[in-house]
Amino acid sequence: MESIPFYFLAALAVLAALGVVVMRDPVYSALALAVVLTALAGLYVLLSAPFLAAAQVMIYAGAILILFVFVIMLLSPGREGDAPRGALKWQRPLAVIFGGALVAQLALVLLMTILPTGRGLYTPEYLAQIGSTQAVGAALFTDYLLPFEITSLLLLVAMVGVIVLAKKKS
Amino acid sequence: MTVNHYIFLSAILFSIGAVGVLIRRNPLIMFMGIELMLNAANLAFVAFSRQLQSIDGQVFVFLILAVAAAEVAVGLAIIVALFRTRQTVNVDDVNALKG
Amino acid sequence: MSLSVPDLNFRVIAPALIVALTALIVLLAELVTPAPRKRWLGVLGLIGLLIAAGATVGLWGAPASAFGGMVVADNFGLFLTLVILLGAALSILLALDFVRAHRVDQGEYYVLVLFAVVGMILMATATDLIVIFLALELLSLPLYILAAFKRADARSLEAGLKYFLLGAFSSAFFLYGIAFIFGGTGTTNLMKIADALAKNPRNDLLLVGAGLLLVGFAFKVALVPFHWWTPDVYDGAPTAVTAFMSVGVKAAAFGAFFRAFLVALPAFAFDWRIVLAALAVLTMTLGNVAALLQSNVKRMLAYSSIAHAGYILIALVAMGASGLSSALFYLLAYTLTNLGAFGAVIALSDGERERLEIRDWGGAARQYPFIAAMFAIFMLSLAGFPPLAGFTGKFLIFSAAVETGWAWLAVIGVLNSLVSAYFYLRPIVQMYMSEPVPGWDRIRVAPLVALALVLALIGVIALGLYPTPAIVMATGGFLR
Amino acid sequence: MINSLWLIPALPLAGATINAIFSRKLPRWLVSVIACGAVGASFVVSLLAFFAMQSTDEHHRVFNVSLFTWIPVADFKVDVAFLLDPLSALMLLVVTGVGFLIHVYSIGYMDAERDDGYGHFFTYLNLFIFSMLMLVLGSNYLLMYVGWELVGLCSYLLISFWFHKPEAASAGKKAFITTRVGDFGFGLGVLLIFTTFGTLDFADIFAHAKLIDQSLITIITLLLFAGAVGKSAQIPLYVWLPDAMEGPTPVSALIHAATMVTAGVYMVARSHALFELSPFSSEVVAWTGALTAIYTATIALVQMDLKRVLAYSTISQLGYMFVAVGIGAYGAGIFHLMTHAFFKALLFLGAGSVMHAMNGIIDMRQLGGLRAKMPRTYITFLAAALAIAGFPFFAGFFSKDEILASAFATGHTAIWVIGLITAGLTAFYIFRAFFLTFHTEPRWTTDDRRPLTEDDSHRSSVNGHRSVHPHESPAVMTIPLAILAVLSVIGGFAGMPKVMGANFLEHYFEPVFKPHDLHLAASTEWMLIGASVAAGLLGIALAYWFYIARPTIPVTLARRFSGIYNLLWHKYWIDEIYSWLFVDKGYRLAMFLWQVLDVKIIDGAANGLGRATAALSRVTRSWQSGYARAYALMMLIATVIVLGWLILR
């Protein structure tokens, strides 16, 4: 039931993620990233988090990615330049080897671990009943009030910072 | 589908993102790699959250979305400020500071 | 469903709240302040920091937690809050004239510093991994921007870019670590993690989580081999910013580092202590060795700050009450000393031209005897010469290590601190023994910078000669 | 009076502070008055404290004055506390007394220095006195460590005082690296004491030392001794001291002869309760001292630079002191420390006076015949030379004799023999230097070569000319010489051997050290005295023979196989032996020791250590490539390693 969409979305996400990393043209990378983000939104739906799926599409695909595309257009970087000779000779093979090693390590841990199902309040059924939007919202404004406020400061800082960096010299 | 499947997927995405940061010279794409890593963490949070029958993980993801947005804004602003005046967008050219 | 709001004990976060409010006020005041008066915004910020310090002192001695155990006001956190406020206040004093000399006198400078301070305070007092992560971001984002603040200078922008890329990279590891800890225990609260661990000691997910968390902290406090950003960023960033981040970030990140590992993960101590001990050895040794031949003062101080992170890490490996208090004392001593050292660099710079190379300091003692003497004393304190603050701090840390059976680590620490004296003495010899370098003789030392230096000097000497009160204050410990 | 002990270090510190801040604004005379006054006042207070101590009951002559708690650590604390007992009191008098004289002398010697250099010099000098007093007075190992580090710092700064000279800069560097090796040992020793005893306080440690495992005590004492080896320039860490002569001569006299380099001896004597418990460590101390003594005396035989002769001589004499403390004759060691402070300071100041007169020339090949030009310097130098040569009834005679007698009495016959030979060598090299400097034909009017060492290149660069006009130094320099000369003559009577009268010093040290009875028959003691006197006289006589009576010996020997050889054979057979012993083989041995063992191996190791570290530094810096991606890769690799370790354990 869950497995067919999972494998489909997972494959899509992995392929698109590889696309982000290997595409020569940054615009294509951005589009591949959009595919990854959308596939993840689909997975969130499978994981009983439809609110997050919506937020993911709106914030990530809608706002963040557009920003990326804007900047790509602004800088019009074109194709990637050559790496400086010598200094970074081993960069690519080592990166792939150790990236693979990281996956292997995490896979090893996952093979050794069987997580018991928790006995929390928010079973998928309960979430479906009250709606995940309400559940997240309620938690956000009660237990997670402080993190929420910190996040608001963070966005303010980002705003101030961007203005500082972009402002014309007076 | 157990939680382990999701976490394994997230691990793969995380590593692809990390490798992307390491092998690309365009800072924008390096940055996309970082976004991939953050999304991998998000996926892990949501998956763990379902497994634990808790809402906390979902709240975290919501907060992290906001953090990512702030980070993107600042990061792109720095990249623009630095590369606006340059011919190429190549992070390897930015190495006046070393030693 | 009904909403039950947890204990909103705002008193507990009063220091952070006051600084945040100050930042907002400065941000609004910026709009109506004409260009020549921007420095008053800095003064406004200073006042806010002083009030926050007052509030911190008011909270002293009565540990309390708030927001469902997400933040606490225990003596450990409050001590670090004071250190952070002190560091921020001194670095604003250093910046008031600096930003004008470097033609970056915008009110946003102070706003960003203040927001970073909010993040630092929250990080030092947080007891929940999510709050620690958000606080980490709240302190990092302003610093990325501040590093790149001098947009006309390609080096400053380079520092900003490197700091940002590597910082975001390490943040992702940190966050992923939190995810695994959450998965392994079902909570992000440090005390509850410890409880969960007590029930289920061998938890591989948690081990991975702890490892990734360690990477994130190691990056922020600049442990080898996660330190690479430090020399480049410290070098490229405007000196006043370097001064600020070299002290504030260390205090905040070490605070959270200690709390996370000592409160949440003591059950794994056997595993992580060895890793941290190895990192401490690498950090001290590489930091000091790389600094030996460094001819640039800012880079030399960057490597020095790496080495100092290594010494502080010894205290974490030592654990225990004496480890904790020695680390707090060391952070205080390091904050004063390092700000003093960077302050001297600022004091003797000529407009935008700074004495970055050690040879530029030639004969400075003849031209500016007071600043030179203070710089010399800060260098000696960093080198751990008695009877200055740095010596007391090292003594406390090494004896804590010896006390808990990590004598070999203390031995390596002693060896390192002996080696380090070599490069700390180089600028002193240059200032006192060689001929003045032409072109550095028309500097007017800004009075506020001199004031900051004198304040730091008093602290460094007092902590060296009579450290007892500070040591007593540092023995508060956590609220568990 | 004893409660005012803190004044003793505080006064020089005040002097240093005032001069550090105001010396640029003050006239020169006031700078010198402040500096000398501070040390002089400190000497007066020390004297008063000494008498106050002596006036108390002799079993209670140990005073511990605690000022305040310095560092509280968990369940113990370190106090800022001063310890006054006969040992520290004597050291106080030596440090402040000799220090004061050298301060006064410096007024004249540093006269040519530019204004702020003059102020700096006196600031450092005062700071040094303060640090040395902290080292001496501290009542725990931490305070001693404070002083230990600070004297090292002052020494380093003062060696490099003429920084623009590359030799001075590299000498400073070498001193720093070499002594750091020793300091590391000392630091570890202190750390180990702390772990073992849980305290750093002398009284507590010494009271409980007997309860500790002997092998642990051995390790502790060996570590402490490593510090002494560095600070007091013993084999193998002595290499920095000869180079340290690049500093101004008063510095050589004060720091590198009279006081700082004796800190190691003082430290071992102070820790005698520990060393007594470890016979092995004590033997190591004694043998290191003995070997250093003879080895560096040999090197001193062939030096041409007057100050370097004195430097090697200092190392050699320090070796004597370590022999004394190593064989348990602590009182004798400190006694020799005291007399050595008098005559070696005097020798250095005399050498400085010569340099002052000769525009900085110190190479003995360009000296000679200065006796008539500088009568006061001549006569005082002679007094010091007689003292160090062990001429009867001069200061060095008594102290050296007591050390040798103790070595003999404790069954260290081999060390006694070494000491005796060294005594002969000492007498020879010092009179060689004396004759070459003050007697013989003047070589400074005819020789136009550049001086090898320029102590004060300011002066000689200003007067680039070759003709020198030797003149006696001003009174401000010769009066300290005279006072030190008096002390070098009479200073030894404090510790006369029992057969000649009462040994005041031995009794004096009783509250600190166990009385060290030699158990020697009077006849044996006389025999020992006779042997050392003979060794000294023989050395002097040979020096006289070689440099005064027969200055042409080398030339004559070169014509050994010509007709004259047969004719003069009878007359010259003694020259033959002499030349074989002292010129041919001896000279070669000394040159070998100096140029191969000293310069190549030991010196090379010190330099090599520096170079290796520098190379390592370059490697680590090359990793800092400037590429953000490379940094990120290294972070990823490190992460994988950390995770791997955590998972696989």
Helix (H, G, I), strand (E, B) or coil at C151: coil
Q: Cα–Cα distances in Å, from D414 out to D197, D323, D410? A: 36, 12, 11
The CA-to-CA distance between both ends of chain A, in Å, stands at: 62
Name the neighbours of A, counting chains with at least 3 Cβ pairs within 8 A. B, C, D
Question: Tell me, what amino acid is at C435?
Answer: E
Q: How many residue contacts between A and B have a Cβ separation below 8 Å?
A: 242
The minimal CB distance from C161 to the residues B10, B21, B79 is found for: B79
The total of structural domains in chain C comes to: 1
Q: Cα–Cα distances in Å, from C376 out to B17, C380, D9, D602? A: 47, 6, 22, 32
| Residues D287, D418: Cα–Cα separation, whole Å | 10
Is C221 within a domain?
no
Beta strand spans in C11-83 (E): 64-66, 71-73
| Spatial contact of D458 and D572, defined as CB atoms under 8 Å apart | no
| Residues C179, B54: Cα–Cα separation, whole Å | 13
Partner-chain contact A145 C8, CB within 8 Å: yes
Partner-chain contact B97 C164, CB within 8 Å: no
Name every chain C residue with its beta carbon within 8 A of the beta carbon of D130: none
Sequence length of chain B is 99
Reported as a single tens digit per residue, the pLDDT across C278-319 is: 999 999 999 999 998 899 999 999 999 999 999 999 999 999
Partner-chain contact B98 D636, CB within 8 Å: no
Helix (H, G, I), strand (E, B) or coil at C66: strand
| Residues C166, C346: Cα–Cα separation, whole Å | 27
Q: Could you tell me which chain C residue has the CA closest to the CA of B31?
A: C165
Residue numbers of the domain that contains B36:
3-86
Is B10 within a domain?
yes
Name every chain C residue with its beta carbon within 8 A of the beta carbon of A106: 208
Partner-chain contact C168 B71, CB within 8 Å: yes
Reported as a single tens digit per residue, the pLDDT across C382-424 is: 999 888 999 999 999 998 998 888 989 999 999 999 889 889 9
- Which residue of A82, A85, A97, A105 is the best one to mutate when testing the D interface, meaning the one whose CB has the most D CBs within 10 A? A105
Say if residue D337's pLDDT is above 80. yes
pLDDT at D153: 87
Residues within 8 A of A (CB atoms), C 165-204 only: 183, 186, 204
Q: Which two tokens stand for residue C285?
A: 């040794």
The total of structural domains in chain B comes to: 1
Residues A70 and A13 in one domain: yes
Helix (H, G, I), strand (E, B) or coil at D248: coil
Q: Could you tell me which chain D residue has the CA closest to the CA of A97?
A: D637
Question: Tell me, what amino acid is at D539?
Answer: G
Is A107 within a domain?
no
Q: Indicate the helix (H) or strand (E) that contains D66.
A: strand D63-73
Please tell me the distance in Å from A21's CA to the nearest CA on chain C: 15
Name every chain D residue with its beta carbon within 8 A of the beta carbon of A94: 633, 637
| Residues B82, B77: Cα–Cα separation, whole Å | 9
Name every chain B residue with its beta carbon within 8 A of the beta carbon of C173: 37
Burial of D588 (0-12, 13-18, 19+ CB in 10 A): exposed
CB of C403 less than 8 A from some CB of D: yes
Phi-psi domain of C477 (left: phi exceeds 0; alpha: psi -120 through 50; beta: other): left
Burial of D121 (0-12, 13-18, 19+ CB in 10 A): buried
Helix (H, G, I), strand (E, B) or coil at D41: helix
| Cis peptide leading into residue D236 (ω within 30°) | yes
The CA-to-CA distance between both ends of chain D, in Å, stands at: 65
Q: Could you tell me which chain A residue has the CA closest to the CA of B50?
A: A47
Please tell me the distance in Å from A143's CA to the nearest CA on chain B: 9
Cα angle for residues A122, C64, C48 (degrees, 5° grid): 110
- CATH number where B74 lies: 1.10.287.3510
Q: Indicate the helix (H) or strand (E) that contains A17.
A: helix A3-22
Q: For residue D367, give the nearest of D446, D303, D312, D421 by alpha carbon.
A: D446
| Residues D376, D482: Cα–Cα separation, whole Å | 8
Q: Could you tell me which chain A residue has the CA closest to the CA of B8?
A: A107
Q: Which two tokens stand for residue D195?
A: 């772990």
Q: Quote the pTM value.
A: 0.90
Partner-chain contact D629 A88, CB within 8 Å: yes
Beta bridge partners of D503: D495
| Spatial contact of C141 and C49, defined as CB atoms under 8 Å apart | no
Q: Could you tell me which chain C residue has the CA closest to the CA of B50?
A: C183
pLDDT at A115: 79
Q: Could you tell me which chain D residue has the CA closest to the CA of B26?
A: D629
Which residue bears the tokens 């029992």? Answer: D498
| Spatial contact of D539 and D423, defined as CB atoms under 8 Å apart | yes
Q: Which two tokens stand for residue C276?
A: 């941290």
Please tell me the distance in Å from D314's CA to the nearest CA on chain C: 26
Q: Cα–Cα distances in Å, from D76 out to C403, D200, D613? A: 12, 9, 37
Burial of D208 (0-12, 13-18, 19+ CB in 10 A): middle
Is C83 within a domain?
no
Is C35 within a domain?
no
Q: Which two tokens stand for residue C146?
A: 């501040």
Is B18 within a domain?
yes
Please tell me the distance in Å from D632's CA to the nearest CA on chain B: 6
Burial of C34 (0-12, 13-18, 19+ CB in 10 A): exposed
Helix (H, G, I), strand (E, B) or coil at D471: coil
Q: Indicate the helix (H) or strand (E) that contains D68.
A: strand D63-73
| Residues D545, D548: Cα–Cα separation, whole Å | 6
Q: Which two tokens stand for residue B33?
A: 């790699």
Name every chain D residue with its beta carbon within 8 A of the beta carbon of B23: 629
Is C61 within a domain?
no
Which residue bears the tokens 């070796």? Answer: D319
The minimal CB distance from D627 to the residues A87, A101, A108 is found for: A87
- In this structure, what are the phi and psi dihedrals at residue D519, rounded to the nearest 5 degrees? 50, 45
Q: Could you tell me which chain A residue has the CA closest to the CA of D626?
A: A87
**Torsion over CA: D376, D378, D381, D383 (sign):** negative
pLDDT at D463: 39
Dihedral of the CA atoms D1, D5, D8, D11 (nearest 10)?
A: -90
Say if residue D456's pLDDT is above 70. no
Is C286 within a domain?
yes
Burial of A88 (0-12, 13-18, 19+ CB in 10 A): buried
Task: Give, for all 170 residues of chain A, the pLDDT tens digit.
Answer: 688 999 999 999 999 999 999 998 899 999 999 999 999 999 999 999 999 999 999 888 888 999 999 999 888 766 666 666 667 888 999 999 999 999 999 999 998 887 777 778 888 888 888 888 888 888 888 889 999 999 999 999 999 999 999 886 64
| Residues D213, D602: Cα–Cα separation, whole Å | 34
Partner-chain contact B97 C165, CB within 8 Å: no
Beta bridge partners of D225: none
Residues A130 and A71 in one domain: no
**Torsion over CA: D35, D36, D41, D45 (sign):** positive
pLDDT at D577: 52
| Cis peptide leading into residue C447 (ω within 30°) | no
Residue numbers of the domain that contains A166:
123-170
Partner-chain contact B72 A67, CB within 8 Å: yes
The minimal CB distance from A161 to the residues C128, C142, C204 is found for: C142
For the ranges C117-121, C463-467, D139-143, D419-423, the maximum mean pLDDT occurs at C117-121
Reported as a single tens digit per residue, the pLDDT across D550-607 is: 666 544 544 444 444 443 333 344 445 545 555 566 566 666 767 776 667 767 776 7
Residues within 8 A of A (CB atoms), C 114-133 only: 115, 118, 122, 128, 130-131
Reported as a single tens digit per residue, the pLDDT across D69-92 is: 888 876 778 889 999 999 999 999
CB of C161 less than 8 A from some CB of B: yes
Partner-chain contact B21 D632, CB within 8 Å: yes
Residues within 8 A of B (CB atoms), C 286-315 only: 294, 299
Helix (H, G, I), strand (E, B) or coil at C319: coil
Q: Could you tell me which chain C residue has the CA closest to the CA of D120?
A: C432
Reported as a single tens digit per residue, the pLDDT across D161-188 is: 877 777 777 787 778 778 888 888 998 8
Beta strand spans in C313-406 (E): none
Q: How many residue contacts between C and D have a Cβ separation below 8 Å?
A: 164
pLDDT at D289: 95
Reported as a single tens digit per residue, the pLDDT across D175-230 is: 877 888 888 899 889 988 988 888 889 999 999 888 888 899 999 999 999 999 99
In chain C, what percentage of residues exceed pLDDT 90?
72
The minimal CB distance from A113 to the residues C112, C118, C204 is found for: C204
Is C111 within a domain?
no
Residues A5 and A71 in one domain: yes
Dihedral of the CA atoms C317, C322, C326, C329 (nearest 10)?
A: 140
Q: How many residue contacts between B and D have a Cβ separation below 8 Å?
A: 29
Q: For residue C341, give the nearest of C307, C383, C312 by alpha carbon.
A: C383
CB of D629 less than 8 A from some CB of A: yes
CB atoms within 10 A of CB D15: 29
* Model ipTM value: 0.96
Question: In sequence order, which ranges of D439-521 are alpha helices (DSSP H)?
Answer: 457-462, 475-490, 504-508
Name every chain A residue with its beta carbon within 8 A of the beta carbon of B71: 158
Residues within 8 A of D (CB atoms), C 364-383 only: 365-366, 369-370, 373, 380
Is A100 within a domain?
no
CB of C429 less than 8 A from some CB of D: yes
Q: For residue D410, give the nearest of D516, D338, D488, D506 by alpha carbon.
A: D516
| Residues C100, C352: Cα–Cα separation, whole Å | 9
CB atoms within 10 A of CB D318: 30
Question: Tell me, what amino acid is at D419?
Answer: G
Residues A2 and A64 in one domain: yes
Please tell me the distance in Å from C3's CA to the nearest CA on chain B: 14
The total of structural domains in chain A comes to: 2
Contacts of D281 (CB under 8 A, 6+ apart): D217, D218, D221, D222, D225, D275
Residue numbers of the domain that contains C319:
272-480
CB of B61 less than 8 A from some CB of C: no
Partner-chain contact C144 B75, CB within 8 Å: yes
Contacts of D423 (CB under 8 A, 6+ apart): D389, D390, D400, D404, D532, D535, D536, D539
pLDDT at C213: 95
| Residues C22, C33: Cα–Cα separation, whole Å | 15
- One-character DSSP codes across C348-361: T-BTTB---BGGGG
